[in-house]
Structure formats: C-alpha cells, structure tokens
Amino acid sequence: MNAYLNSRNFPGHTDELASQLNGLLEADFSDNFFITLGRWQQILADNRKKELWSGLHDKLSILFKCGSPAVLDGPMIGIPLGIRNSDYCSDTVRSLGQKRSHSASIEWLARAWNITFADTGLWMGKAFEPLPIEVLAQKCGNDERTMAAYNTQTTRIGRNFFREPPDPNFLQEISIPVITPLWDLKDRPMSTDAQLFGGLLIRENLKKEIHIPYSKTGSIYLGDFGKSVLKALNQKKVYQLNYRWPGLNPVFPMTRLLDELVQIDDGIYLGQLIYATRHYSLGSLNIPLFPDLPKIQIGEPYQPGRDPGADEKYGYQNNGYFLMMDSSFAGQVYADDAFPWLRPRPGESGYSELGYDR
C-alpha cells in the first residue's frame, strides 16, 4: 500500500474517489512509479497520441487529489509531464457539461513544447532553500499573511535548473543565451559562498546537486504550505510555489504562475502548473533616463493581501503537471525504463559520480 496516496487527503473525499485511486494503482502501477510515470510522459510528449492525453490528465488529477502535502527541501530533479492551454471559455463550456472548449482542446502549447523541448532536459529541476525572514519580507513586499506563515522548517526560496540541450537545433541552441539575461539566470553555484537570490546555500544540498546536470539557475519563487487556489480542489493543503511577487522580479509569463505540489511516493512529488487568467502583470520597465526610479508595472501587479477574494479574482487554471524527484533517487530517475534522456552526459555533473563512465 502506498503511504502517500489516500482519498482522505482530499477535502470532501468520496467513495468514488477512493475507488478511482484503487483502480488506478492496480491497473497502472504494477511497476514502480518511476517506470509508469516515465511511460505516461512519453505519451504526453507525443503529438501523435493526443487522443490519450485527456485520460492521462484525468489520472494525474486523481493522484494529485489523493497526494500528501509535504515540504520540499534541497535539490530535486524535474520533468514536465504534460502542458495544457488556459481555457478562457471554461465557465461557459462547463455550464454545457463539457470539460474544455474547442479552442483549448487544440492544445497548441503542448504541441509546440513537444516538438521543441519536451525530451531535451532544458529544464532539469529546482532547488528549495531556507531563507532569512528579512529576505522573505523583501521578496513578498511584507505581505501580512505570508510573513505570518514564516517557518524555518517549511518556508523556502527556490530556483530552477537549466541545461543545454543535446545536439541542439537553432531554436534549442539559442534558448539558454536568450533566457539567461531575460530571467536573470546565474551560473551553477560551486560553493556555499556563491551569491545567488537570497537563499541559504547549504553544503549538504550542494552535494546532492552533483547528481543533477545543469549549468544555469534562476527564475525564483517563494515556497510554503498553503491551500490550493483551484476551486475544484476544495482548498486541499498543498506545498505552494509563488513566482508572482513583484519583489522576485518575475518576467511574463511567470507573473501569472503558481505551482502546487503533493507527495505521491518515496522521493516523488507531483506538481501542477497554475496560471492566472485575469488581473496579472505583463512585466515591468525602467523609466528611460531615470534608472533609479521605481519600475513601471505593465498590467496589474500581484497584491493578494489587498483583496480577500484574490484567488477567485485571478481566475486560476490548471495548465499541466510536472514531477519533482529527490536527487537521492537519481539512479531510478535516469533508468532506461524511466527518464533516460535526463541522464548526465559526458563532461556533465553526475556522469562519473553515478558510474556512467564505466
């Protein structure tokens, strides 16, 4: 029996959800989770198998509802499972008994991702690091609710890992050079003395990063426990990553982005991408000739503390799923029947440490 998946983890759980979970585990998880999830990822990354995507998203929804809230700490290997378009007609189509509108069901964003970056390892995961309370205050603009929730055991600042794709085509080759200045990416830290984004670099965590090949890091967020912003999840407790705070200097589309995560197995965390569809910023600009003046926000800056109904106001929607996997499980993550394309390549961190040079 899986220790992390239980229908009782979902507020207002039903016998139907329990039955769905049990059936899913019996039918799909006779192998270990890494193997099954690797198989699902390959289907969701294949534009020729689009007719199977909706069913897999439904299965991922069941897993997410039944997953356990858990703190993520240190470095994690990551991979997108499936990306979905925002559905700006969702209220209308649901009133008609449909799941998604025709325009959203085209899934052009997923198709584009699949033919460009799906299996390249461009995004390799995240680091979750403790931070001093004064850094939190600066990043969240002293938001009252965020500051009150500060806990050294759960509150984190995080950064993403990025890696050059293998044998890149033109678009893949320019990806890292383009996003490095745009997202203020930094070089991979090699010691605890590295100056990054305000988090505390811990020696133990840097050692764990050895098993994750990446060269650039950035695109930061704040993490802590929270209640899901999606109405359909009944305020389920999740570990929530917020990219939207102006103090994080997010670049569109991160000005719209939240992630929510739950644990579904040993070393495996299922995340969902959530984007605001209303009331968001398109970014900020410096005033020419006056660089010392505050930046001008284009659109509406994120200020949830000023609106008690902010979650509903922002029109949040699920835009897909991803995995976070503890780097101590790297051997299983990179196995031939799981996610072998993420495996370190010659000359990269982890290649010799994991024995791929032998």
- List, for residues 231-246, the tens digit of each pLDDT value: 999 999 999 999 999 9
**Residue 248, pLDDT above cutoff 60:** yes
Give residue 356's pLDDT: 95
- List, for residues 138-151, the tens digit of each pLDDT value: 999 999 999 999 99
Question: Could you tell me the pLDDT band of residue 307, with boundaries at 50, 70 and 90?
Answer: low
**Residue 89, pLDDT above cutoff 70:** no
What stretch of H or E contains 272? strand 268-275
- The CA-based angle 88-92-95, given to 5 degrees, is 140
**Residue 1, pLDDT above cutoff 60:** no
**Interacting residues of 195 by C-beta distance below 8 A, sequence separation 6+:** none
Question: Could you tell me the pLDDT band of residue 289, with boundaries at 50, 70 and 90?
Answer: low
- The CA-based angle 70-76-82, given to 5 degrees, is 85
Q: State mean pLDDT over 273-289.
A: 84
**Residue 101, pLDDT above cutoff 90:** no
* Strand-strand pairing, 268-275 and 281-285: unpaired
In terms of Cα–Cα distance, which of 125, 153, 136, 320 is closest to 242?
Answer: 136
Give residue 290's pLDDT: 65
In terms of Cα–Cα distance, which of 171, 175, 150, 149 is closest to 162?
Answer: 175
Give residue 212's pLDDT: 98
Give residue 162's pLDDT: 98
* Neighbouring-strand partners of residue 129: 157
Give residue 308's pLDDT: 59
Q: State mean pLDDT over 330-349.
A: 96
**% of the chain with per-residue pLDDT over 70:** 92
Q: Where are the domains of the chain?
A: 69-342
Average pLDDT over the chain, rounded to an integer: 92
**Cβ atoms within 10 A of the Cβ of 272, count?**
23
Range name among 163-167, 240-244, 265-269 with the lowest pLDDT average: 163-167
Give residue 265's pLDDT: 97
Q: Where are the alpha helices (DSSP H) in 117-211?
A: 133-140, 144-148, 170-182, 203-208
Give residue 323's pLDDT: 98
Tokens 């995080």 sit on residue: 158
Give residue 95's pLDDT: 60
Return d(Cα 299, Cα 304) in angstroms, integer: 15
Tokens 């929270």 sit on residue: 226
* Neighbouring-strand partners of residue 283: 298
In terms of Cα–Cα distance, which of 181, 202, 204 is closest to 192?
Answer: 202
